[in-house]
Copies of this chain bind each other. A is one copy, B any other.
Amino acid sequence: MAETAPMSGRKAQAARNDKLILEAARAVFVADPSAPIAAVAERAGVGISALYRRYPSKEDLLRKLASDGLRLYISVAEAALADEGDPWESFARFMHGIVDADTNAITRNLAGMFKPDEGLYQDAMRAYELNVRIMERTRAAEVIRPGVEIADLALIAEQLSAIKLGDEERSRELRRRYLTLILDSLRNPPATSPLPGPAPTDEELSRRWG
């Protein structure tokens, strides 16, 4: 099988660690943007030196994460633009896509913790341009509530990414719930879609106070 890299061997372990570290870093910094780098190592199940072998400093790691997150955002936006179906459904899928991917958590929330890169600027401009085109197309179809601007979408995504309740998966589910509410309100004419997933329970809310 072409996919099966030899399970043993230092090189194979290194390749696996590459992914382990990036995934751990993403998870840790999404949960707490100011987390110490030791927390990333622990979560990845590796030593600290495995991190420093790959990234010269914490700042470089953060920049890498933000860069990946921005590129993910771009790919979601491009997929949405390629979708030539119903304009509203296409727009809604775009919003669901960026909220599900939670790209805000690793771009906006990490801002200020690293010095932006030239490539980051390029990607940011590209992302903005895609935003404009999606918005223009949706407006042209007259399926979005008048008065809603591009920047509104960014702030809505940012609000939703602030929901952190329990599990990462449960958080996503709840974000979908409130995104559904907002989208119903953004749609022209307004709609009433079924709310996905169960409402939060009082127990879920109060557990965080410990």
Say whether B151 contacts A158, CB under 8 Å. Answer: no
Is A174 part of the contact surface with B, judged by Cβ < 8 Å?
yes
Interface size on A, residues (CB 8 A): 42
Say whether B190 contacts A116, CB under 8 Å. Answer: no
Say whether B185 contacts A147, CB under 8 Å. Answer: no
Partner of A199, one of B147, B162, B178: B147
Would you give the shortest CB distance from A123 to chain B, in whole angstroms?
Answer: 13
Partner of A148, one of B112, B185, B199: B199
Expressed in whole angstroms, the Cα–Cα distance for A51 and B111 within the complex equals 32
**A148-B199, A162-B162 known; A154-B205 Cβ under 8 A:** yes
Kindly supply a per-residue 1/0 record for chain A positions 178-210, scoring 1 wherever the CB is within 8 Å of any chain B CB and 0 otherwise: 100110111000111001000111101100111
Residue of B nearest to A149 (CB): B199
Query: How many copies of this chain does the complex contain?
Result: 2
Is A145 part of the contact surface with B, judged by Cβ < 8 Å?
yes
Expressed in whole angstroms, the Cα–Cα distance for A83 and B163 within the complex equals 31
Expressed in whole angstroms, the Cα–Cα distance for A42 and B209 within the complex equals 30
Residue of B nearest to A186 (CB): B181
Expressed in whole angstroms, the Cα–Cα distance for A33 and B150 within the complex equals 30
The A148-173 residues at the B interface (CB cut-off 8 A) are 148-152, 154-156, 158-160, 162-163, 165
Expressed in whole angstroms, the Cα–Cα distance for A114 and B152 within the complex equals 35
Expressed in whole angstroms, the Cα–Cα distance for A190 and B182 within the complex equals 12
Would you give the shortest CB distance from A192 to chain B, in whole angstroms?
Answer: 6
Closest 9 CB pairs of A and B: A162-B162, A149-B199, A185-B185, A151-B200, A159-B159, A181-B185, A190-B190, A184-B185, A111-B209
